[in-house]
Amino acid sequence: MKPDFRKSMIWLHTYSGLVIGWLLFSIFLTGTLSYFNPEITQWMKPELVHVSSTQNMINRSLTQLHKKGVDADTWRIYLPDERTQHWSIQWHKEGKRHNLSLGPEQGQILSPRESAGGNFFRTFHYTLQLRGYGGLYIAGIAAMFMLVAVFSGIFTHRRFFRDFFTLRLKKLSKTLTEAHAIVGVVTIPFCIMICTSAIMIYVIMYMPFSAEHYAGGQRDLSRALSPGLVNLDKSASRHIPLLDFTVVGRQVQSQWPGQKQIRRITFEQPFSQDGRIIVERVKDLTLSRQSKRLIFSSHSGEPLAGYPNASKATQVRRVFFGLHEAHFADISLRWLLFLLGLLSSALIATGLIIWLNKRLEKVKQHHIGHFIVERLNIAAISGLPLAIVTFFVGNRVLNTALENRASIEVDVFLWAWLACLFHSFLRPAKKAWVEQLLITSLGCYLLPIIDLYQDSQRLKNAIFDGNLTYLTFNLFVLFTGLIFMKTAFWLRAKNTLYKTVSLRVNKLC
C-alpha cells in the first residue's frame, strides 16, 4: 500500500465506495423515504379518513372487541395519531389474527385497500426483500462499509475546513467533485449516526458469539437484560374484561400528563382472571425505542406491577435504535432529516459517477469493468427512483379487490427495477440516463392525474379538510418530476453538444 496515510485512505475510499455504492444508494434512498412511512401509507390507502380527532375511541374499540373478539387470547387497540390516521383493533384467537380498521362514525368499519404502504420502504432498506436469506446481514455489512467510506473520505480531501465551500459550476466533473465534498462534510454526523445506530440495532445478531457462549443465545440474553412481565397462569378462571376504560384512563392521565399520550393498548389474556392491560405511551418524548408502559388488571382496572427496568446497556442500545428511527422528531426535524438522507443518497450517487468519469478520462481502452460500472450506475441511480414511482402508480392502478395485493405491488416495484437494469445494458449509456430520468418524471406527473381521474373528490376533500399529507405528497411528487425532467433535458443538451463538437472535429480531421 502507499506509504502515505492520506493516499491509503484515498485508495480505501475509492474502492470501498465502489464495491458497496449501488447497494448503499438503494438502502439510503429507501431508508430516507421511511422517515415519512405513515404519511406515505396514508397516501397509498386513500380509503383512510381523518380519525385522530374522534372522541371516546378507546371505549368504542372495546365495544367492538367485546362483540367480535370473544374468548380471544390477545386484544390490541391501535390509537391513531396525526401522522398515521389509522385507528384499528386486532384480536388473536386460535392462532389466527384478525384486524379491523375503525372509522369516526359510530360503528363504522373502514376497508382500506390492501397495500404494503410506506412500510415497504422501511422493511426493504434493512431486509432487501431477503429476510430469510441473509438480507439483514448484507445491510449490516453495507453499514460497516459506509462507515469506512465516510472515515476514509474525511482524509481524502486536503485542507479540511479551508477550501470547502466552493462550488464551481462551469465544468461538470469539478462540480460533481466539489458537490460530493460539500455534501460529504455536511452529512458526516448524520451518516455516522445512521450507520452506527444501524449496526447497534442488530448488534448481537451480527456478533452472536459472546451471547451464545455466556447467555445461551440472543433471545435468552434479551430476556435476561430486559425482562418481560411474569408469565400468566393459564389455568385461571374466566372473567369478562372491563367495558369502560375510564377507570384505567384516569390513572394513566395522572401518570402521563398531556393529551393523547396513549399509543397502543394490549390486553393479554383478556378473558382470564389474571389477564392484564398493557398501556403503551407515545414515543415522541423519548430518544429510546421503547416508551413507557403501564400495567393494569384486565377486569378490574387496578394497577399491577410494571415492567422491571432494563439494564443500562439495553437502554443504550434502545437509544441508538430510537435515534435511527427518529420517532421523536417533529415535522420540522423530520423534514431536515429527510433532506439529510436525500443528500447522503446524492453523496453516494455522485461518488459513483465521479469514479466512473475519472476512470473513463484516464483509460484509453474501455474495459468490461467500466461497462458494468457504467450500466449499474444507471440502473441504481436512475432505476431505483423509476421503480419507486412505478410502485406508487401500481398502488393506484391495481384493482383494490385483488388477492395478495400488497405483494403484487412489491412485485411491480421489483420487475420495474429489473426492467431498468435490462434497459441500461441494452441502450447506449448517455441515452439510457436521459430515457430513464424522463420516464421517472413522466410517472411523477402521472400520479396526481391518475388520482384526479380515479376519484376527483379526493383532491377537493383534501383541500377542504386541510389534508396536508395528501397535498404535500402530491406537491413533492410534482417537484421531483420537475427536477428529473430538468436533469434529463440538461443531460440531453450536453449529449447533443458533445456529439456536434465531435462531429465537427471529425470533419476537420
Cβ density class 2-19: b for 16+ within 10 Å, e for less: eeeeeeebbebbbebbbe
- Binding test (CB under 8 A) with another protein, winner from 337, 356, 429, 491: 337
Q: Where are the beta strands (DSSP E) in 248-321?
A: 262-268, 276-281, 293-297
Among 214, 371, 490, 498, binds another protein (CB under 8 A): 214
Q: How many residues does the chain have?
A: 509
Closest distance to another protein from the beta carbon of 183 (Å):
9
* 65 vs 282 by CB, closer to another protein: 282
Is 85 or 344 the residue whose CB approaches another protein more closely? 344
427: left (phi over 0), alpha (psi -120 to 50) or beta: beta
Residue 123 Cα to chain centre, angstroms: 7
Task: Report the residue from 32, 187, 345, 424 that binds another protein according to the rule CB under 8 A.
Answer: 187
**CA-to-CA dists, residue 24 to 126, 335, 427, angstroms:** 11, 21, 25
CA proximity to 270, closest of 290, 305, 241, 247? 241
Q: Does 12 bind another protein (CB under 8 A)?
A: yes
Q: Which of residues 343-372 bind another protein (CB under 8 A)?
A: 343
Residue 70, C-alpha cell as written in the block: 370473544
Of 6-14, 79-87, 391-399, 479-487: span binding another protein (CB under 8 A): 6-14
Q: Check residue 336 for interaction with another protein (CB under 8 A).
A: yes
Are 490 and 482 within 8 A, CB to CB? no
Q: Using alpha carbons, select from 384, 389, 282 the residue that is nearest to residue 327.
A: 282
Taking CB under 8 A as the rule, does residue 209 contact another protein? yes
In angstroms, the CA 127 to CA 119 distance is 12
5 binds another protein, rule: CB under 8 A:
yes
CB closer to another protein out of 336 and 501: 336
Binding residues among 19-38 for another protein as defined by CB under 8 A: none
The single residue among 148, 356, 406, 442 that binds another protein, judged by CB under 8 A, is: 148
Distance CA 69, CA 283 (A): 28
Q: Considering the rule CB under 8 A, would residue 11 count as an interface residue with another protein?
A: yes
Q: Is 323 in the site for another protein (CB under 8 A)?
A: yes
**Opening angle at CA 388, ends 18 and 111, nearest 5:** 145
Q: Is 152 in the site for another protein (CB under 8 A)?
A: yes
Euclidean distance between CA atoms 188 and 32, whole angstroms: 16
For residue 500, with 0-12 CB atoms within 10 Å meaning exposed, 13-18 middle and 19 or more buried, which class applies?
exposed
> Does residue number 185 form part of the binding site for another protein (CB under 8 A)?
yes
Q: Tell me how many residues contact another protein (CB under 8 A).
A: 57
Binding mask 265-294 for another protein (x = CB under 8 A): --------------------xxx-------
Q: Using alpha carbons, select from 497, 441, 347, 388 the residue that is nearest to residue 120.
A: 388
What dihedral angle (degrees, nearest 10) is formed by the CA atoms of 472, 324, 31, 9? Answer: 130
Of the two residues 230 and 285, which places its CB atom closer to another protein in the complex? 285
Beta carbons within 10 angstroms of residue 173's beta carbon = 12
Near another protein by CB under 8 A: residue from 107, 189, 306, 369: 189
Among 204, 279, 347, 446, binds another protein (CB under 8 A): 204
Smaller CB distance to another protein: residue 188 or 429?
Answer: 188
Is 192 one of the binding residues for another protein (CB under 8 A)?
no
Choose the stretch contacting another protein; rule: CB under 8 A; options: 104-112, 141-149, 377-385, 499-507: 141-149
Which span sits near another protein by CB under 8 A: 65-73, 143-151, 415-423, 436-444?
Answer: 143-151
For the bound state, the minimum distance from the C-beta of residue 411 to another protein, rounded and expressed in Å, comes to 34
- Select 206 or 425, whichever has its Cβ closest to another protein: 206
Among 18, 100, 154, 186, binds another protein (CB under 8 A): 186
- The residue range among 87-95, 162-170, 454-462, 464-472 that interacts with another protein, by the rule CB under 8 A, is 162-170
Minimum distance of another protein from residue 3's CB (angstroms): 6
Q: How far apart are CA 408 and CA 401, in angstroms?
A: 12
Burial code of 330-360, b = ≥16 C-beta within 10 A, e = fewer?
eeeebeebbebbbbbbbbbbbbbbbbbeebe
Q: How far is the CB of 91 from another protein (least distance, A)?
A: 35
Q: Which residues contact 44 (CB under 8 A, 6 or more apart)?
A: 113, 115, 117, 118, 392, 395
* Contact with another protein (CB under 8 A) among 236, 247, 333, 471: 333
Please tell me the distance from the alpha carbon of residue 310 to that of residue 302, in angstroms, as a whole number.
Answer: 24
Q: Does 311 bind another protein (CB under 8 A)?
A: yes
Least distance to another protein, CB of residue 6, Å: 9
Q: Note whether 312 binds another protein by CB under 8 A.
A: yes
Q: What are phi and psi of 406, to 5 degrees?
A: -60, -45
Residues near another protein (CB under 8 A): 1, 3, 5, 8-9, 11-12, 144, 147-148, 151-152, 161-167, 182, 185-187, 189-190, 199-200, 203-204, 207, 209-211, 213-215, 221, 224-225, 285-287, 311-314, 316-317, 319, 323, 328, 333, 336-337, 339-340, 343
